[in-house]
Amino acid sequence: MIAVVRRGAVARSNLAVRSQNPGWPRFCSPDWCLAYVYAPSPGSLTPPMPFVTIEAEPDAVTVDLDRTALIIIDMQRDFLEPGGFGEALGNDVSCLAAAVEPCRAVLEAVRRCGLLVIHTREGHRPDLSDVPPAKMERGAPKLRIGAAGPMGRILVRGEPGHDIIDVLYPVSGEPVIDKPGKGAFYQTELELMLHNRGIENLLVCGVTTEVCVNTTVREANDRGYRCVVLGDCCASYFPRLHEAGLAMIKAQGGIFGWVSTSRSAITALGPAPT
């Protein structure tokens, strides 16, 4: 039969079958959708299992998937490709490439499960009125924020360099948070969005590990969110700082959160439909 069911339950439970019909289940709101549902035989149904355990350090963490979102931090051309902000500051942008495929795999698994996905972008208004002088002063004058580069004006909203790389590009329904700072909560609507969706847990991916990922995780931790940082989905221009960034999160019994991997998260989310 066709029934209205909670969106997350469609992907996870054996109550709702992925139909052979293309286009099903049909999502009609962020929380509910139409799906083909079947009952194999009375008493044989397994209830939906919104709680999953993710292998992590310092220890495994159990999260309610109905209250979990994926946040992908700043996977923008400006940081990952030559000619952007990252390179303008003297960095070797190829160091960030390793995080792309793990991020893509996690994004695919999370989308399949119907979890909320939020993307962030660091950048500024074209008139640069939201750039603090202390941030503006960094780097060579010709390569500062707002200067013209091969991907448009550096770190300016609306320019090609400011946008998210194609392979991780948001799909319809995935909010994009434009942030002027390193932390994703600072001067943004992120907290309101998470609150409105009842989110308590964040799977965190993105760049760079020790800057925007760490700042966001620290801000999230103070706001009461459980953060599970997927280490191989993060990267830094400095491998030492990547390791240190992850170590700081999981130290002291997980002082800011947990550190896990793309593989552990995907395993916890469940296998892809065959």
* Residues assigned a catalytic role: 74, 179, 212
CA distance 274 to 262: 20
The answer to whether 79 contacts ligand C5J (rule: CB under 6 A) is: yes
The answer to whether 212 contacts ligand C5J (rule: CB under 6 A) is: yes
CA atoms within 13 A on the CB side of 68: 26
Cβ count near 99 (within 10 Å) = 28
The answer to whether residues 84 and 78 touch, using CB atoms and an 8 Å cutoff, is yes
Closer Cβ to ligand C5J, 57 or 210, answer by number: 210
From the list 132-140, 169-177, 208-216, 252-260, the region that binds ligand C5J by CB under 6 A is 208-216
* Closest CB 84 distance from ligand C5J, rounded Å: 11
Q: What is the size of the binding site for ligand C5J (CB under 6 A)?
A: 8
The answer to whether 207 contacts ligand C5J (rule: CB under 6 A) is: yes
- Restricting to residues 112-141, which ones interact with ligand C5J according to CB under 6 A? 122
* Closest CB 170 distance from ligand C5J, rounded Å: 17
The answer to whether 65 contacts ligand C5J (rule: CB under 6 A) is: no
Please give the sequence-ordered ranges of beta strands (E in DSSP) within 16-110, or none if there are none.
26-27, 32-36, 51-54, 61-64, 68-73
* Closest CB 155 distance from ligand C5J, rounded Å: 9
The answer to whether 74 contacts ligand C5J (rule: CB under 6 A) is: yes
From the list 6-14, 56-64, 105-113, 206-214, the region that binds ligand C5J by CB under 6 A is 206-214
Least Cα distance to 193 among 248, 129, 120, 246 occurs for: 120
Contacts of 240 (CB under 8 A, 6+ apart): none
200 Rama sector, left if φ>0, alpha if ψ -120 to 50, beta otherwise: alpha
* Closest CB 45 distance from ligand C5J, rounded Å: 45
Cα three-residue angle 189-190-191, rounded to 5 degrees: 95
Amino acid, single-letter form, for residue 31: D
From the list 44-52, 187-195, 197-205, 207-215, the region that binds ligand C5J by CB under 6 A is 207-215
- Restricting to residues 221-240, which ones interact with ligand C5J according to CB under 6 A? none
The site string for ligand C5J over 173-192 (x = CB under 6 A, - otherwise) reads ---------x----------
The answer to whether 219 contacts ligand C5J (rule: CB under 6 A) is: no
The answer to whether 211 contacts ligand C5J (rule: CB under 6 A) is: yes
Please give the sequence-ordered ranges of beta strands (E in DSSP) within 198-274, or none if there are none.
201-207, 226-235, 258-260
Q: What is the DSSP string of 109-143?
A: HHHHHT-EEEEEEE-B-TT-TTS-HHHHT-S-GGG
Catalog residues that contact ligand C5J under the rule CB under 6 A.
Answer: 74, 79, 122, 182, 207-208, 211-212
